[in-house]
């Protein structure tokens, strides 16, 4: 990786981590398409899963008293189905088509996030399991596993504190499964320093400026930026075919 690549990767992760802290959904939607453009389809998704694992694990430890372990377990067990299927798809597709797949999945995730409040999902084991399986598939293929869980949470009226804590535990486990399926990114020691440092700085900045940023405006910014990145990723794949 050259200097420009490190700067681009660090900037994307810093901004994504900051938005994640402010709005709760910025990291995957914003970072996934741009990381794919900067370091490639496979390494980009793998890098995002490593960062997501660290952020979610730290949050789960802090919020451990509010975790619904039964629901987290159902989601995680069901996600195995999606992870297995997604790993096969990700390893079978040529890199150019994988760019297109990541961009399309992210756009679907954006639309799903916008209509999350209108969807109706069962709160039983089947509904929870379906959300976990779909989340697993989207996470291992594109690094964007949140929207199915957001739709599920809004549909069943999941209490906020328990929801936030439980999904941190779920996504920590899901990222472990995803990395087990696809492996760690091939990154130099300098790259790992950039990944860790930029993510921590982004979270710290989010803590500092979170109260002064309009969450509604930030959410719209996330959607616009993520859409631009997704379309650019699709265009790269189409032009390379």
Q: DSSP per residue over the chain, as a string? A: --HHHHHHHHHHHHHHHHHHHHHS-HHHHHHHHHHHHHH-HHHHHHHHHHHHHHHHHHHHHHTGGG--HHHHHHHHHHHHHHHHHHHHHHHHS-HHHHHHHHHHHHHHHHHHHHTGGG----SSHHHHHHHHHHHHHHHHHHS--HHHHHHHHHHHT--HHHHHHHHHHHHHHHHHHHHHHH------HHHHHHHHHHHHHHHHHHHHHGGGS-HHHHHHHHHHHHHHHHHHHHHHHHHH-
pLDDT band at 26 (very low <50, low <70, confident <90, very high): low
pLDDT attached to residue 77: 96
207 pLDDT above the threshold of 60: yes
Higher per-residue confidence, 241 vs 197: 197
Q: What is the DSSP letter of 183?
A: -
Both tokens of 66, joined, read 């509010």
pLDDT in tens, 122-144: 667 888 898 899 899 988 888 88
The Cα angle at residue 190 between residues 235 and 231, in degrees rounded to 5: 10
74 pLDDT above the threshold of 80: yes
Mean pLDDT is lowest, of 37-46, 127-136, 207-216, 221-230, for 207-216
Q: What is d(CA 33, CA 237) in angstroms, rounded to the nearest whole number?
A: 12
Whole-model pTM?
0.78
Domain positions in the chain are: 3-240
220 pLDDT above the threshold of 60: yes
pLDDT attached to residue 202: 86
Mean pLDDT of 205-228: 70
Q: What is the average pLDDT score of the chain? A: 83
Both tokens of 45, joined, read 């998704």
pLDDT band at 120 (very low <50, low <70, confident <90, very high): low
pLDDT band at 118 (very low <50, low <70, confident <90, very high): low
């Amino acid at each position: 990786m050259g200097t420009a690549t490190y700067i681009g990767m660090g900037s994307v992760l810093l901004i994504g981590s900051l938005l994640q802290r402010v709005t709760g959904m910025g990291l995957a939607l914003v970072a996934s398409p741009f990381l794919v453009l900067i370091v490639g389809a496979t390494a980009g998704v793998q890098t995002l899963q490593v960062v997501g694992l660290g952020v979610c694990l730290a949050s789960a430890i802090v919020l451990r008293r509010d975790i619904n372990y039964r629901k987290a377990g159902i989601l995680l067990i069901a996600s195995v189905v999606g992870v297995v299927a997604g790993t096969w798809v990700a390893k079978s597709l040529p890199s150019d088509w994988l760019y297109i797949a990541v961009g399309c999945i992210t756009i679907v995730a954006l639309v799903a996030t916008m209509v999350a409040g209108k969807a109706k999902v069962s709160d039983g084991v089947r509904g929870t399991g379906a959300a976990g399986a779909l989340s697993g598939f989207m996470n291992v293929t594109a690094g964007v596993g949140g929207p199915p869980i957001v739709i599920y949470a809004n549909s069943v009226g999941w209490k906020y504190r328990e929801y936030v804590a439980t999904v941190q535990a779920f996504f920590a486990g899901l990222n472990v499964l995803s990395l087990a399926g696809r492996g760690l990114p091939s990154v130099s020691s300098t790259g790992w320093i950039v990944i860790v440092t930029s993510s921590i700085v982004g979270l710290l900045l989010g803590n500092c400026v979170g109260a002064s940023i309009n969450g509604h405006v930030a959410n719209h910014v996330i959607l616009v930026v993520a859409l631009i990145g997704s379309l650019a990723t699709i265009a790269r794949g189409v032009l390379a075919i």
